[in-house]
Amino acid sequence: MRGRFGPYGGQYVPETLMSALEELEHAWLEARDDPQFQLELAGHRHAFVGRPTPLYAAERLTEHHGGAAIHFKREDLCHTGAHKLNNALGQALLARRMGKTRIIAETGAGQHGVAAATVCARFGFECVVYMGTEDMRRQHMNVRRMRLLGASVREVTAGSATLKEATSEAIRDWVTNVGDTHYIIGSAVGPHPYPQMVRDLQRVIGDEARDQYLVAEGRLPDVVVACVGGGSNAIGMFTAFLGDPNVRLVGVEAMGRGMEVGANAASLVAGRPGVLHGSYSYLLQDAEGQVALTHSVSAGLDYPGVGPEHAFLKDLERADYVAVDDEEAVAAFRLCTRLEGIMPALEPAHALAYAGRLARELGAGGRVLVCLSGRGDKDMDSVEEFGGNGTS
């Protein structure tokens, strides 16, 4: 059905937003099939974002784990430092096409907020970014970047003061200002058409990586690994390989401090289906069915829900979803930095930690491809606060 991935997805929103979602769906389908729009998008991807991003052979990390060859898809080299700009750029062009003058966004780690502020500066939109107090504290550098780019960063103090609450405030703003405002949702979550639209704008990651890997290795990888919070970098990567049954897809969530309620952000591993932010998908809930508090050392994974297409892929058993705890992620962050001279964001550090396990399991001759979705300079304070010297 339209807007559904099996039973997941849909539009669970106030009536006041239905006309805006219908307008957005119509505009997106029209733009997606318009060669002129796609040509303009491709031009900005090349000259502004810096695409195509390279495929990188992580030789020292491969040697360290003593098994399968590990490659990175270097989304950390995108302008602004993460894959988030792929989506923000496409949605900004769409907002301009729709005649909107104001952009709102939510952000956790700050990378989507920076991406939204960046495209607003590029195209002359008013920009408002909602961000939780806790995320503003641990990602203060990105707060400064957004403000320098001209965005108004609005602090959200409710609840855990992280991404869930920031998203709720952004939706309230959109309901109030739907006429002139476009909401750039930063992940493959939310009501239809956002999960499909964000996937389509992020699939450039997987399309490039698949072609690059075939050129470099003459075959496809055995496993493709990506971190999953809301799930945009992962669905962008996985989509290109869905038709390749011999390629295993692994999404890595945040186990945080453990699997008890409130200690993690592993919606697919520890959650169950329910409705959050306009969509039916897996989410973390307490015994009474209330949305649970979350925790992750990574601000970008600290969210209690996940994109509905990931829920569908889990049920189909086409993708496997696992969880990595804070300690493993910080250790992988440090290890990659020291061995490769590449500082990953804490989000893809979760994927790197699991990729090391997979490399050892597969052994020599195996091949693992990791979506390195962002760079880690934003996370230096969080890593130092965490402490420890783990590098395994």
CA distances in angstroms from 195 to 188, 233, 247, listed in the order given: 4, 12, 23
Which residue of the set 208, 373, 378, 382 is catalytic? 373
Please provide the distance, in angstroms rounded to a whole number, between the alpha carbons at the two ends of the chain: 45
Identify the helix (H) or strand (E) that includes residue 201: helix 194-202
164 catalytic? Reply is: no
Q: Is residue 284 a contact partner of residue 267, using CB atoms and an 8 Å limit? A: yes
Q: What is the DSSP letter of 172?
A: H
Cβ neighbours for 85, distance < 8 A, ≥ 6 positions apart? 49, 78, 79, 115, 118, 119
Best CA proximity match to 88, nearest among 210, 229, 191, 182: 182
Q: What is the DSSP letter of 133?
A: H
CB atoms within 10 A of CB 154: 15
Report d(CA 167, CA 138) in Å as an integer. Answer: 18
309 catalytic? Reply is: no
8-9: strand order across its sheet: 4-5, 8-9, 279-283, 272-276
Best CA proximity match to 79, nearest among 176, 129, 149: 149
Q: What is the largest CA-CA distance in the chain?
A: 57
Which residue of the set 75, 106, 134, 253 is catalytic? 106
Report d(CA 261, CA 71) in Å as an integer. Answer: 34
Report d(CA 360, CA 358) in Å as an integer. Answer: 5
Q: Which two tokens stand for residue 342?
A: 């590449």
Beta strands in 149-271 (DSSP E): 152-156, 181-183, 223-227, 248-256
106 catalytic? Reply is: yes
What is the chain's length?
392
Which residue of the set 73, 84, 314, 378 is catalytic? 84
User: How does DSSP assign 15-74, residue by residue?
Assistant: HHHHHHHHHHHHHHHHHHT-HHHHHHHHHHIIIII-PSPPEEE-HHHHHHHTSSEEEEEE
Give the catalytic positions in this structure.
84, 106, 373
